[in-house]
Amino acid sequence: MQPFTLAEGDTTGHVFAPLYPVPGDHLLIVERELLYKGKKVGTISAVLTFMEVFPPDDAVVLGIAEHHLSNKGPAKEGVISVQGSFRFSDQRDLVFSIVGGTGSYRNARGTVTLGQDGFTYRVN
C-alpha cells in the first residue's frame, strides 16, 4: 500500500486530561477528526498514560490509539491500531508502531508518523 497522509481536524474539545497529572493518570483523545483535502475521512481515539511528569508542562506518555478510516480518501475502510510513547517536549516527528487493525487493516504492520502535515501512514 502506498503511504498516505491525513490532516488533524479541530484539536480543541477532544482532549481530556487532569489539570495536574501524576504518573498513572490518563489523557484521552476522543474522536478527533482526520481530514483529506479538507473533508472528514475518519477519526482517531487514544488512551495515553502519564509515565513521568516534568514540571511545569512536560511529560512522557505511553498509549494506544485507533484510527477509524473510511474509504472516502486515499485510505481503505477499517481501523488501524497503533501504540507508542513520546515526550511532550519532543521537537521531532513522532513515530508510532502499527500493531494491527480491522477490515482492510487486519494483521497490519508498519508505522504512523505524526508531523507538521498530520498523520502519515506506512502500512505493510
Q: Domain ranges for the chain, please list them.
A: 4-123
Model-wide pTM > 0.85 = yes
Rounded distance between C-alpha atoms, residue 123 and residue 107, angstroms: 10
In the chain, the largest separation of any two C-alpha atoms, in whole Å, equals: 42
* Protein fold of 4-123: AOC barrel-like (2.40.480)
- Please state the rounded mean pLDDT for residues 35-44: 96
Confidence of residue 10 (pLDDT cuts 50, 70, 90): confident
Q: What mean pLDDT is reported for the chain?
A: 95
Q: Are 47 and 64 in contact (CB under 8 A)?
A: yes
Residue 91 has pLDDT above 90, yes or no: no
Residue 44 has pLDDT above 80, yes or no: yes
Question: How many C-beta neighbours within 10 Å does residue 69 have?
Answer: 27
User: For position 2, what pLDDT does the model report?
Assistant: 95
User: For position 16, what pLDDT does the model report?
Assistant: 94
Q: Are 42 and 70 in contact (CB under 8 A)?
A: yes
Please name the helix (run of DSSP H) or strand (run of DSSP E) that holds residue 62, with its range, or none. Answer: strand 58-69
